[in-house]
Amino acid sequence: MPLIIMTGFPSSGKSTAAKKIQQYFGEKGKEAVILTEESLMDESKNEVFSSSKIEKEVRGRLKSEIIRLLDKEKTIICDGANYIKGFRYELYCASKASKTTQITVFCDLSVPDIEELNSSRPDNHKYSTEVLSEMCQRYEAPISANRWDSPLFLVLKDGNIDGDGMLKCLYERAPPPPNQSTQTQPLSNTDFLYQLDKQTQEIVTRILEAQKLSGIGEEISFSSTQEKLVLSRNYTLSELARTKRQFIKYAKERAIQDVDKLASMFVQYLRSNLIA
């Protein structure tokens, strides 16, 4: 489930570092799977990174595959350029939503070093001079102060990795809590929706009946709650129905635990959102 995001200039040794991490984790009894950006390309690296459209499609495939694998009981090593901070943030959000930990591994080599490494590669695996230069110019380096880049581990020219530190951050640290707004709240009662609709409808019906018999300023009482409501004007069925729908949505999102309080809460909601 934990996610490792590799990042760095092209030809900075990301794949080599990823394999070292995979081997180290395996020796410690933690299975790690490497997901390479290149394996998701239908074109060559130079063709992909020369076209913003194709590059965006490849990033989309990479993100989808990572999300699919986040539910598995393995460490995922995302071996790709990952040089756009917005994309790293998207991956951070995905791991956060899956309630798992994440680290960023930055292969921090200089431009002259990566140019030398790139030139030593076979022709079918090296970047063109133009693509290499453009990617370096576009590269957005990770910053440890950014929550989506943290914890940040560096791999320098010597290629050494802090495997022990990575393991501790991934397996001994609690994942960041998911955003509350993205979490589906369970219903607390099997008849929750039935009771919610029933009690709110009874109050709406009582208000409509009271308006026919009482004048403005009269106080309305209800059988399901001790809360009372003062008629400050006549309210239409559409107004009450709209407010009822709003309250039902509000109550469902928060999964009210005490069904017996629904009627009181609805009267209070009416007083705040419609009567006032």
Residue 27 · residue 164 · CB < 8 Å? no
Q: Average pLDDT over the chain, rounded to whole?
A: 87
**Whether residues 118 and 58 fall in one domain:** yes
Same domain? 65 vs 174 = yes
What is the number of structural domains in the chain?
2
Q: Indicate if 54 and 127 belong to the same structural domain.
A: yes
Is residue 168 helix, strand or coil?
helix
d(CA 65, CA 53): 19
Confidence band for 20, pLDDT divided at 50, 70 and 90? very high
The answer to the question of residue 48 being in a domain is yes
Question: Which residue intervals of the chain are DSSP H helices?
Answer: 14-27, 45-48, 52-69, 85-97, 111-119, 129-138, 163-171, 192-213, 237-254, 262-270
Q: Is 58 exposed, middle or buried (0-12, 13-18, 19+ CB in 10 A)?
A: buried
Q: Is 188 helix (H, G, I), strand (E, B) or coil?
A: coil
Query: Both 45 and 113 in a single domain?
Result: yes
Lowest mean pLDDT among 15-29, 56-70, 139-153, 184-198: 184-198
- Is residue 187 one of the residues assigned to a domain? no
Omega before residue 151 within 30° of 0, cis: yes
Rounded to whole angstroms, how far apart are CA atoms 181 and 174? 20
Q: What is the DSSP letter of 148?
A: T
Residues 175 and 203 in one domain: no
**pLDDT tops 80 at residue 244:** yes
Task: For residue 70, give the CATH number of its domain.
Answer: 3.40.50.300
Query: Are 158 and 23 in a shared domain?
Result: yes
Residues 32 and 107 in one domain: yes
Q: Which of 141, 34, 158 is nearest to 88 (CA)?
A: 141
CA 218, CA 177: separation in Å to the nearest integer?
A: 48
Tell me the Cα Rg of the chain: 29
User: 3-state SS string over 53-72?
Assistant: HHHHHHHHHHHHHHHHHCCC
If residue 34 lies in a helix (H) or strand (E), which one and from where to where? strand 32-36
What is the rounded average pLDDT of the residues 261-266? Answer: 87
Q: Which domain holds residue 81?
A: 3-182
Instruction: Select from 182, 208, 237 the last residue of a domain.
Output: 182
Same domain, 62 and 96: yes
What letter does residue 214 receive in the DSSP assignment?
S
Pairing of the two strands 229-230 and 32-36: unpaired
Neighbour count for residue 231 (Cβ, 10 Å): 17
Q: Is 36 left (phi over 0), alpha (psi -120 to 50) or beta?
A: beta
What pLDDT sits at residue 187? Answer: 44
Whether the predicted pLDDT of 34 surpasses 90: yes
User: Which residue, among 150, 118, 114, 159, has the nearest Cα to 23 in the 3D structure?
Assistant: 159
Could you tell me which residue, 136 or 234, shows the higher pLDDT? 136
Q: Which two tokens stand for residue 29?
A: 């009894």
Choose the final residue of a domain: 131, 163, 182: 182
Q: Which among 129, 159, 182 is the end of a domain?
A: 182
- Residue 154: what pLDDT? 95
Q: Are residues 167 and 42 in the same domain?
A: yes
Residue 177: pLDDT above 80?
Answer: no
**Are β-strands 152-155 and 102-107 bridged in parallel, bridged antiparallel, or unpaired?**
parallel
Least confident of 107-111, 168-172, 183-187: 183-187
Query: What's the rounded Cα separation, in Å, for the pair 62 and 84?
Result: 13
Q: Report yes or no on 107 lying in a domain.
A: yes
